[in-house]
Amino acid sequence: MAADAIVNLDLLPRDGERALSALADGRMVVARSDNDFLYVIDFEREFHMFSHTIGAPGGGQRQFPKNEKYRATVKKVAELADAVYAVEYDHEMNIYGVMATAEDAILSMFPGGASNVATVEFAPWDRDKNAREAEEGYEGETETADPFGEFRPELED
């Protein structure tokens, strides 16, 4: 087992340049669209891409040269995906274990997908909500402002 068997996960903006930068820094980039995951690593001057669909027993793997065509492909994948993550890990770890751990973490924090009946909404923090409700004569319970935003799951029809 690797000396530092920890996998760190960061949510990235859907920006191709940021994805390429994360790869250049030695991190894995994970693009998620609904129930499909695409894992990309920069290994021995090639892009290695692994695909997996949630619940599927296996996945696919391809290697591509690190040329302009495939740099553009990685950028486009990051821009078209529903979400993009960067995974930092010890490179002595088993790559399939890293991917499985990253996928489990993503699914636990951001369940999403077609099988999920809840929509997760992060509303921006409203710094003046309490004062505005007092001025408007709101008589309900006033919430304490949360600097990290409100988490409100809403059921879909």
Read off φ and ψ for residue 13, nearest 5 degrees: -70, 160
**Per-residue exposure over 120-149, b if at least 16 CB sit within 10 Å of its own CB, e if not:** eeeeeeeeebeeebeeeeeeeeeeeeeeee
Average per-residue pLDDT for the chain = 78
pLDDT at site 3: 55
Q: Give the C-alpha separation, 42 to 20, whole Å.
A: 9
pLDDT at site 64: 93
* Percent of the chain whose pLDDT exceeds 70: 69
pLDDT at site 132: 66
State how far Cα 135 lies from the chain centre. Answer: 40
pTM to 2 decimal places:
0.68
pLDDT at site 5: 74
Instruction: Name the residue with higher pLDDT: 119 or 92.
Output: 92
**Above 60 in pLDDT, residue 119?**
no
Q: Give the C-alpha separation, 105 to 107, whole Å.
A: 5
- Predicted confidence band at 63 (pLDDT cuts at 50, 70, 90)? very high
| Average pLDDT over every residue of 61-77 | 93
